[in-house]
Amino acid sequence: MRNEKDNRELNMYSNSIKKALDECADIRILNPKTGETHEEKGLVIYNSKAEKLVALGNECLSFDGTNPDLKLVAPIVRGEIIDYVCTEQLFSWMYHKYVCKKHLFIKKSVLICVDEPVSPINIRAYEDAIILAGGGNFKDVQFMGASVTQRSDSMTWDECIEKALENRKDTGCVLRVTKNNPSGYARSFYQEYLDSCKRWNVVPEKKVY
């Protein structure tokens, strides 16, 4: 039987996993040449003892938190890059797995789409991360986000991407950072609110909408 300490640790791991799943993005990668789209969870598993990543993307969904050396990490939280190194490695893994496994002699452009509003600093972080992830295959980065004027509110993301590909025939890869279940983001924001109330000893407001 589990003792009280075991139950607390199990609950801590469970909450940590739920938090990562709520916060993480769903990352889609499109190969314009083949038209194929693939999707991976924006998650990585980091082994603190070995100091390296041991799983990326959907591989992380089997994480149960029982190994204390392993940590489930969401490197992109609600559209914002919070772990640059893990983001770059995740992008690189997806690009070389689904789009291109070799070095290109003719460099391509890459399009990044982020559904959430992103700060100028994070836009630069996205651009730098994908350039590194491409291993020298990208000559420039096109960025499209909720806070950037290239996307019209009257168009869907798919329509915007299609239009961008028509304008730039040299686009070799499209990465979209989205969230299939936005309620996860909402839970994440709400939990931050509750944590802040607890930290500042404030009673959370209860409103009826």
What pLDDT sits at residue 1? 45
In a domain? residue 149: yes
In a domain? residue 107: yes
> Domain range holding 120?
27-39+81-199
What pLDDT sits at residue 57? 97
What pLDDT sits at residue 40? 98
What pLDDT sits at residue 207? 65
What pLDDT sits at residue 2? 43
In a domain? residue 64: no
Return phi, psi of residue 60, to 5°.
-80, -10
What pLDDT sits at residue 147? 65
pLDDT in tens, the chain (209 residues): 444 544 444 454 577 888 899 999 999 999 999 999 999 999 999 999 999 999 999 999 999 888 989 999 999 999 999 999 999 999 999 999 999 877 777 899 999 999 999 999 999 999 999 999 999 999 999 999 876 555 556 788 889 899 999 999 999 999 999 999 999 999 988 988 999 999 999 999 876 54
Instruction: State which H helix or E strand residue 138 sits in.
Output: strand 138-145
Instruction: State which H helix or E strand residue 56 sits in.
Output: strand 52-56
Return d(Cα 171, Cα 2) in angstroms, integer: 55
What pLDDT sits at residue 153? 63
In a domain? residue 58: no
CA distances from 32 to 90, 174, 185 (A): 20, 7, 29
What pLDDT sits at residue 180? 95
What pLDDT sits at residue 134? 93
In a domain? residue 195: yes
pTM of the model: 0.86
Give the tokens for residue 16. 């940590």
What pLDDT sits at residue 155? 81
Return d(Cα 117, Cα 198) in angstroms, integer: 27
In a domain? residue 5: no
In a domain? residue 68: no
Q: How many domains does the chain have?
A: 1
In a domain? residue 60: no
